[in-house]
Chains A and B, each alone.
Chain A
Amino acid sequence: MSELNTPGTAVPLEQSPIAPKPPGRIRQALDSDIVYSYTRSPVTIIASIIALLLILMAVFAPLIAPYNPFNPASLNLMDGFTPPNSTSFSGNYFALGTDHQGRDVLSTIMYGLRVSLFVGALATLFAMAIGISLGLAAGYNGGTLDAVIMRIADIQLSFPAILIALLIFGIARGLIPPSQQEGAAVWVLIVAIGLSNWAQFARTVRGATMVERQKDYVSAARIMGVHPIVILVRHVLPNVMGPVLVIATIGLALAIIEEATLSFLGVGVPPTQPSLGTLIRIGQQFLFSGEWWILLFPAITLILLALSVNLLGDWLRDALNPKLR
Chain B
Amino acid sequence: MAEPVLSVKNLTVQFPTRRGVLTAVDDISFDIMAGEVLGVVGESGAGKSMTGAAVIGLIEPPGRISGGEIRLKGERIDNIAPDAMRAIRGRRIGMIFQDPLTSLNPLYRISQQIIETIRTHLHVGEAEARKRAIKLLDDVGIPDAARRIDDYPHQFSGGMRQRVVIALALCAEPDLVIADEPTTALDVSVQAQIIDVMKELCRERNAAIMLVTHDMGVIAETADRVAVMYAGRLAEIGPVRDVIKNAFHPYTQGLMGSIPSLTTDLDRLLQIPGSMPRLSAIPKGCPFNPRCPKVFDRCRIERPDADPVAPDRRVACWLYPEVTPA
Contacts and interface: CB of A to CB of B under 8 A. Distances in A.
Direct chain A–B contact by Cβ atoms under 8 Å: yes
Interface of A: 9, 11-20, 36
B275 interface: yes
Contact of A19 (B268, B273, B281, B291): B281
B277 interface: yes
Nearest to B268: A9
A16 B291 CA distance: 8
Nearest to B271: A11
Chain B's interface: helix, strand, loop or mixed, by majority?
A: loop
Interface of B: 18, 268, 271, 273-275, 277, 281, 283-284, 290-291
Contacts of A14: 273-275
B281 A20 contact: yes
B290 A16 contact: yes
A13 B277 CA distance: 13
B17 to A, nearest CB: 11
B179 to A, nearest CB: 27
Given A9-B268, A16-B283, A16-B290, A36 B18 contact: yes
B274 A16 contact: yes
Given A18-B283, A19-B281, A20-B281, A13 B268 contact: no
Contacts of B273: 11-14
B18 A16 contact: no
Contacts of B284: 18
Given A11-B273, A16-B283, A16-B291, 14 more contacts: A9-B268, A12-B274, A13-B273, A14-B273, A14-B275, A16-B275, A16-B277, A16-B281, A16-B290, A17-B290, A18-B277, A18-B281, A18-B283, A18-B290
Contacts of A36: 18
Nearest to A8: B268
Contacts of A11: 271, 273
A18 B282 CA distance: 8
B276 to A, nearest CB: 9
A36 B18 CA distance: 9
A175 B126 CA distance: 77
List the 9 shortest-distance A-B pairs measured between CB atoms, nearest first.
A12-B273, A14-B275, A16-B277, A16-B290, A18-B283, A17-B290, A14-B274, A16-B274, A19-B281
B274 A15 contact: yes
A138 B281 CA distance: 44
14 contacts: A11-B271, A11-B273, A12-B274, A13-B274, A14-B273, A16-B274, A16-B277, A16-B281, A16-B290, A16-B291, A17-B290, A18-B277, A18-B284, A18-B290
Chain A's interface: helix, strand, loop or mixed, by majority?
A: loop
A18 to B, nearest CB: 5
A12 B291 CA distance: 10
Contacts of A15: 274
A19 B282 CA distance: 9
Contacts of B277: 16, 18
Nearest to A20: B281
Contacts of B281: 16, 18-20
Nearest to A12: B273
Nearest to B277: A16
Contacts of B18: 36
A13 B271 CA distance: 12
A67 B105 CA distance: 68
Contacts of A19: 281
A15 B271 CA distance: 14
A17 B292 CA distance: 12
Contacts of B290: 16-18
A11 B291 CA distance: 13
Contacts of B275: 14, 16
Nearest to A36: B18
Contacts of B274: 12-16
A241 B165 CA distance: 41
Contacts of A16: 274-275, 277, 281, 283, 290-291
B208 to A, nearest CB: 35
Contacts of A20: 281
A12 to B, nearest CB: 3
Nearest to B272: A12
Contacts of A9: 268
Nearest to B287: A16
A9 B268 CA distance: 10
B297 to A, nearest CB: 15
Nearest to B274: A14
Contacts of B271: 11
A18 B271 CA distance: 20
A20 B278 CA distance: 11
A192 to B, nearest CB: 46
B176 to A, nearest CB: 32
Contacts of A12: 273-274
Nearest to A40: B18
Contacts of B291: 16
Nearest to A31: B19
A18 B280 CA distance: 11
A18 B290 CA distance: 9
Kindly name the residue among B268, B271, B274 whose own CB sees the greatest number of chain A CB atoms within 10 A: B274
A323 to B, nearest CB: 13
A208 B281 CA distance: 34
B233 to A, nearest CB: 15
A20 B281 CA distance: 8
Nearest to A17: B290
A220 to B, nearest CB: 23
Contacts of A13: 273-274
